[in-house]
Structure 1
Amino acid sequence: MKFNENNLTTASECLKVLSHPLRLMILFLIKDQSLNVSSIEKLTGATQSNVSQHLAIMRYNGMVKQEKKGNEVYYTVATERLKKLLELIGELLCEKH
């Protein structure tokens, strides 16, 4: 991969999105399953509006995808590359040494 100002800026913006604890928690929750906003709300303890705002940020940045099932919208991690990154974060960075 060539490093240039554009892709370094994109990577930096991606890492900023990942740096928020609630967004990271949501991504870990939807890494292997689809969840709707109310399920994410219950699992995180965050309000519906807060969860929705964070999902919108992640959707804008291409990190989550949504699928409508009946009246509900379900969210999951958008790419296999992001799933792998989340696995690495879990393995390497979340353990205290």
Structure 2
Amino acid sequence: MKVLASPHRLMLACHLSSGEETVGELAAALGLRESTVSQHLAVMRRERLVAARRDGQSIHYSLQSEVVRDVIAALARSFCTLDPEQSARR
């Protein structure tokens, strides 16, 4: 789980929890360079957190780890569903 300590990799996992995306789609969504996204995805692939599927010239990435899916879901429940007043009290 140390892999998700990087804010960029955590955000990549959040985006991939919704389904497959390409490097270009992830880079645009996060405002990062494609090379940066590719480097982070390589780390995540080595740790078997994401899987890659080639479709022509595009590579589509998806979450492979159920543990990561569960962590992302727990974070979303804890931090993404609160209204601003509840969030300020935490």
> How would you bin the TM-score normalised by the shorter chain?
0.7 to 0.9
Report the alpha carbon displacement of residue 84 of structure 1 after superposing the two structures with TM: 1.3
SS of residue in 2 equivalent to 1:40: helix
Identity %: 28
Report the alpha carbon displacement of residue 38 of structure 1 after superposing the two structures with TM: 0.5
SS of residue in 1 equivalent to 2:19: coil
Gaps of 5+ in 1: 1-13
Alignment correspondent of 1:8: none
TM (normalized to structure 1)?
0.78
Report the alpha carbon displacement of residue 93 of structure 1 after superposing the two structures with TM: 5.2
RMSD over aligned Cα, in angstroms?
A: 1.4
Letter in 1 for 2:34: Q
Q: Within the alignment, does 1:36 sit opposite 2:22 as a pair?
A: yes
Gaps of 5+ in 2: none
Deviates more, 1:75-84 or 1:37-46: 75-84
Query: Within 5 A, what are the aligned runs for 1:1-80?
Result: 14=1, 16-80=2-66
In 1: Cα distance, 2:65 partner to 2:6 partner: 19
Q: Detail structure 1 runs of 4+ shifted over 3 Å in the superposition.
A: 93-96
TM (normalized to structure 2)?
0.83
* Number of residue pairs the alignment of both structures matches: 83
